[in-house]
């Protein structure tokens, strides 16, 4: 009986993680009235589970290319992809989070460590949800494309697009977090009560330094993430090279993307 | 006979979708789907009737009749999850059922327009057009139907855009996404017309390739001369 209840509880836990993520995407968790406490009302472990599962799902879509390789399917590559995509995001976060927190404190931000973690979890959730939603497109092209450079560039484009949307969300939420406590005593504009996850950026931003810091951090996150992707490679798996869990450390991500572009056009 | 009448009535409803006329009928989901399948298959069958004599390869006609609705439906299904996430992200989730209805109506309308162009295609085939011009001609028919279907899309989307202008940007994103997937889906499902000199096949041998890579290689071959890969 208790095993059944534990199982039901776990299922409910997974479901609520996705429900939270859905509400973040819809903008329900980032309404000015809900941000008046100065932090996002989300449960980090619950959302994290949903994020990991979505990363695994995208890894599966990405790994489809290895299943249709000319030399025969390589299920180990699919497995590697499913493990590496969540690792890519969380290792990048691990590398960049300490510097963000320190600089955040230095510029005098009102964000506490807990609210920074919540904000970044929500941002990662948006990033990964958009990424996973493009999974079917990636899986479709992976199944019918033999060109390795094309798949590399398509995946880079998909990661870039989802990252771009996530950074829009981060900056927008940051703006609302900064204005939230100040408008606590004033009536909330009805048009702002149910805003989407993102709204076109405005110049009204009292905490300019924090915003600049997060912008710089986003660039850093992108750079570290790109190189982390390079260190953790292969994700897609070059069909001309035998399978390996990791490749030797050489070159860098940007050189590789440039190489893929050159190879596609030659 | 009543079934044909019913289908024509449904097709008429799809074509008038979103029309400001008071008596404009509203097509149901089942109607839209039925129209998409039947009218898409009609144009597909005519498309596959190329040859001498026209319609001499019933198997190719059956394949093409299957492929046209399949191409439209599969491109739609592959692109939809990303579009759903984008709509949610930009705060348009509540409108999503109406958005999907507008897009499906446009797809169904596209097949009705295509089917209306089918007699022209059949006539051109009967007048003895060569294989390559026949491919170009069908491309022209699809392009014409796509442009004409924009009228349904614009009408169906008018209310959505008036309620929230963000729908306009999302619609453009959808078109880019749909065309990007659709081009590859069409390439994958080829041949639609079928070279009469080659055996009838559902999929082209070695057709499991990428349309964009082929185009890049062709363009690059023209610009800098044939590459070893493109030539091989």
Question: Can you tell me the mean pLDDT for B102-123?
Answer: 90
Q: B19 or B183, which is more confident?
A: B183
Q: What is the SS3 assignment for A41?
A: coil
A26–B88 CB contact, under 8 Å: yes
How far apart (Å, rounded) are the C-alpha atoms in residues B203 and B206? Answer: 9
Is the CB of residue B189 less than 8 Å from the CB of residue B203?
A: yes
Question: Can you tell me the mean pLDDT for B65-69?
Answer: 95
Q: A101 or B153, which is more confident?
A: B153
Interface test with A, best of B85, B94, B188, B231 (most A CBs within 10 A): B85
pLDDT at B230: 38
B220–A266 CB contact, under 8 Å: yes
How far apart (Å, rounded) are the C-alpha atoms in residues B211 and A158? Answer: 18
In chain B, count H helices and then E strands. 8, 0
* In the predicted structure, residue A165 carries a pLDDT above the cut 80: yes
Percent of chain A residues topping a pLDDT of 70: 82
Q: Which residues of B touch A195 (CB under 8 A)?
A: 91
The tokens for A81 are: 């992809």
The DSSP-derived string for B29-92 is: HHHHHHHHHHHHHHHHHHHTT-SSSTT--HHHHHHHHHHHHHHHHHHHHHHHHHHHHHHHHTT-
Q: How large is the angle between the packed helices A135-144 and A148-179, nearest 10 degrees?
A: 170
Distance from CA of B82 to the nearest CA of A (A): 4
Percent of chain B residues topping a pLDDT of 90: 41
Is the CB of residue A121 less than 8 Å from the CB of residue A29?
A: no
Position A1 confidence tier, pLDDT thresholds 50, 70, 90: very low
Is the CB of residue B76 less than 8 Å from the CB of residue B107?
A: yes
Interface test with B, best of A136, A162, A166 (most B CBs within 10 A): A136
Chain B residue whose CA is closest to A153? B213
pLDDT at A238: 87
Q: What is the SS3 assignment for A94?
A: helix
Percent of chain A residues topping a pLDDT of 90: 35
Contacts of A196 (CB under 8 A, 6+ apart): A26, A27, B89, B90, B91, B92, B166
Query: Helix %, strand %, coil % for chain A, to 5?
Result: 70, 0, 30
* In the predicted structure, residue A28 carries a pLDDT above the cut 70: yes
The tokens for B171 are: 């619609």
* In the predicted structure, residue A16 carries a pLDDT above the cut 80: yes
* In the predicted structure, residue B63 carries a pLDDT above the cut 50: yes
* In the predicted structure, residue B186 carries a pLDDT above the cut 80: yes
pLDDT at A58: 96
* In the predicted structure, residue A33 carries a pLDDT above the cut 80: no
Position A206 confidence tier, pLDDT thresholds 50, 70, 90: very low
Reference A148, options B210, B221, B188; nearest CA is B210
* In the predicted structure, residue A6 carries a pLDDT above the cut 80: no
Q: Which residues of A touch B88 (CB under 8 A)?
A: 22, 25-26, 197
How far apart (Å, rounded) are the C-alpha atoms in residues A171 and A163? Answer: 12
* In the predicted structure, residue A74 carries a pLDDT above the cut 60: yes
pLDDT at B90: 92
Contacts of B31 (CB under 8 A, 6+ apart): B10, B13, B14, B108
Distance from CA of B185 to the nearest CA of A (A): 9
Position B123 confidence tier, pLDDT thresholds 50, 70, 90: confident
Torsion, Cα B210 B213 B218 B221, to 10 degrees, reads -150
pLDDT at A121: 93
A133–B84 CB contact, under 8 Å: yes
Q: Which residues of B touch A135 (CB under 8 A)?
A: 81
Task: Supply the pTM of this predicted model.
Answer: 0.77
Write the pLDDT tens digit of every residue in B126-137: 877 888 888 888
Q: Is the peptide bond before A234 cis (omega within 30 degrees of 0)?
A: yes
Q: Which residues of A touch B211 (CB under 8 A)?
A: none
Encode B112-127: b = buried (16+ Cβ within 10 Å), e = exposed: bbbbbbbeebbebbee
Is the CB of residue B216 less than 8 Å from the CB of residue A265?
A: yes
Q: Which residues of A touch B79 (CB under 8 A)?
A: 136-137
Q: A69-78, A160-169, B217-226: which has the highest mean pLDDT?
A: A160-169
The closest CB to that of A147, out of B84, B188, B213, belongs to B213
The tokens for A252 are: 């860098």
B212–A150 CB contact, under 8 Å: yes
pLDDT at B38: 93
Residue ranges of alpha helices (H) inside B164-210 are 166-188
How far apart (Å, rounded) are the C-alpha atoms in residues A192 and A188? Answer: 7
Interface test with A, best of B75, B90, B174, B179 (most A CBs within 10 A): B90
Lowest mean pLDDT among A71-80, A180-189, B193-202: A180-189
User: Taking an 8 Å Cβ-Cβ cutoff, which residues of chain B contact chain A?
Assistant: 77-79, 81-82, 84-86, 88-93, 166, 177, 180-181, 184-185, 188, 208-210, 212-213, 216, 220, 227
* In the predicted structure, residue A203 carries a pLDDT above the cut 50: no
Question: Can you tell me the mean pLDDT for A255-264?
Answer: 81
A197–B88 CB contact, under 8 Å: yes
Q: Which residues of B touch A133 (CB under 8 A)?
A: 81-82, 84-86
Alpha-carbon dihedral sign for residues B143, B148, B152, B157: positive
Q: Which residues of B touch A197 (CB under 8 A)?
A: 88-91
The ipTM of this complex is: 0.70
Percent of chain B residues topping a pLDDT of 70: 91
Question: Can you tell me the mean pLDDT for A128-153?
Answer: 93
B85–A129 CB contact, under 8 Å: yes
Question: Can you tell me the mean pLDDT for B200-229?
Answer: 75
How far apart (Å, rounded) are the C-alpha atoms in residues A151 and A138? Answer: 8
How long is chain A? Answer: 266
The closest CB to that of A147, out of B89, B93, B210, belongs to B210
């Amino acid at each position: 009986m208790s095993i059944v209840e534990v199982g039901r509880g776990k299922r409910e836990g997974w479901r609520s993680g996705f429900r939270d993520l859905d509400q973040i995407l819809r903008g329900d968790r980032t309404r000015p009235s809900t941000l008046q406490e100065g932090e996002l009302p989300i449960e980090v472990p619950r959302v994290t589970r949903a994020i990991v599962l979505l990363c695994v799902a995208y890894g599966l879509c990405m790994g489809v290319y290895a299943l249709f390789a000319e030399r025969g399917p390589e299920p180990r590559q699919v497995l590697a992809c499913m493990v590496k995509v969540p690792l890519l995001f969380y290792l990048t976060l691990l590398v960049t989070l300490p510097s963000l927190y320190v600089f955040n404190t230095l510029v005098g931000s009102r964000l506490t460590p807990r609210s920074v973690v919540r904000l970044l979890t929500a941002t990662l959730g948006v990033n990964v949800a958009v990424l996973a939603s493009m999974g079917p497109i990636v899986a479709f092209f992976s199944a019918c494309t033999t060109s390795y450079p094309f798949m590399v560039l398509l995946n880079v484009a998909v990661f870039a697009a989802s990252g771009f949307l996530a950074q829009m969300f981060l900056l927008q939420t940051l703006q609302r977090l900064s204005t939230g406590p100040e408008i606590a005593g004033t009536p909330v504009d009805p048009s702002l009560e149910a805003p989407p996850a993102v709204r076109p950026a405005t110049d009204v931003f009292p905490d300019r330094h924090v915003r600049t810091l997060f912008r710089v951090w986003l660039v850093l996150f992108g750079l570290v993430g790109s190189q982390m992707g390079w260190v953790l490679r292969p994700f897609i798996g070059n069909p001309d090279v035998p399978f390996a869990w990791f490749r030797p450390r050489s070159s860098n991500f940007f050189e590789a993307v440039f190489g893929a572009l050159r190879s596609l056009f030659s | 006979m009543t079934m044909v009448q019913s289908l024509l009535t449904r097709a008429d409803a799809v074509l008038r979708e979103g029309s400001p006329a008071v008596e404009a009928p509203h097509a149901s989901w089942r109607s839209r789907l039925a129209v998409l399948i039947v009218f898409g298959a009609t144009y597909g069958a005519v498309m596959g009737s190329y040859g001498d004599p026209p319609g001499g390869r019933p198997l190719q006609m059956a394949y093409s009749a299957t492929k046209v609705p399949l191409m439209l439906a599969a491109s739609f299904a592959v692109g939809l999850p990303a579009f759903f996430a984008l709509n949610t992200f930009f705060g348009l989730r509540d409108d999503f059922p109406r958005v999907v209805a507008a897009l499906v109506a446009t797809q169904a309308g596209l097949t009705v327009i295509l089917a209306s162009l089918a007699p022209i295609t059949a006539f051109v085939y009967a007048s003895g057009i060569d294989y390559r011009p026949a491919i170009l001609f069908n491309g022209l028919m699809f392009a014409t139907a796509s442009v004409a279907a924009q009228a349904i899309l614009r009408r169906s989307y008018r209310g959505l855009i008036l309620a929230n202008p963000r729908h306009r940007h999302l619609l453009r994103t959808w078109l880019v996404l749909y065309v990007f997937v659709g081009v590859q889906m069409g390439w994958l499902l080829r041949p639609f017309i079928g070279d009469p000199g080659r055996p009838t096949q559902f999929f082209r041998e070695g057709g499991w390739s990428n349309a964009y890579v082929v185009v890049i290689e062709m363009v690059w071959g023209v610009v800098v001369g044939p590459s070893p890969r493109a030539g091989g």
